[in-house]
Amino acid sequence: MLVVDDEEAICFSMSDYFSHHGYKVETARDFDEAERLIESTDFSVIIQDLRLGVSRNPDGLDIIERARERNPDTRIIVLTAYGSAEVEDEARRRGASAFLRKPKPLSQVAQVVQGLIESPSKKARSA
């Protein structure tokens, strides 16, 4: 699993939570770091924010495309505080499997992760 978020506290809490539940977790806090990890590792799940620091371009939508190009089977969960219907539609068009709005309890994020892993051919609904 890869967690991409510019907030260190979110990376830490997700890494801690999912590691405790048996997942191998890598974290990235910016686009370049996420891109390097995506190029070198096949992740089954990526949980990512859309806005990564002050830089808006390239952004989280570009990470979705890079991950899809590298491994079309990767399940991508967008977790953002800046969601709108248009942004969600664009994220899904680029390959996001689920779109969640912050704040979201980790247990609910874990339910979405588990659902995507168990039913890889089905896309999760917005939550």
Taken in order 28, 91, 16, 73, the sign of the CA dihedral is negative
- pLDDT by residue (tens digit) across 18-29? 999 999 999 999
Taken in order 121, 52, 56, 99, the sign of the CA dihedral is positive
Q: Does domain 2-114 have CATH number 3.40.50.2000?
A: no
The angle that helices 8-20 and 106-118 make with each other, rounded to 10 degrees, is: 60
Domain boundaries along the sequence of the chain: 2-114
What pTM does this model have?
0.89
Whether residue 120 is predicted with pLDDT greater than 60 in this model: the reply is: no
CB atoms within 10 A of CB 18: 20
- pLDDT by residue (tens digit) across 28-77? 999 899 999 999 999 999 999 988 876 554 578 999 999 999 999 999 99
| Cα 51 from Cα 67, distance rounded (Å) | 16
Mean pLDDT of 92-108: 94
Taken in order 121, 19, 99, 60, the sign of the CA dihedral is negative
The continuous run of DSSP H or E covering 34 comes out as helix 31-40
Check residue 21 and give its pLDDT: 95
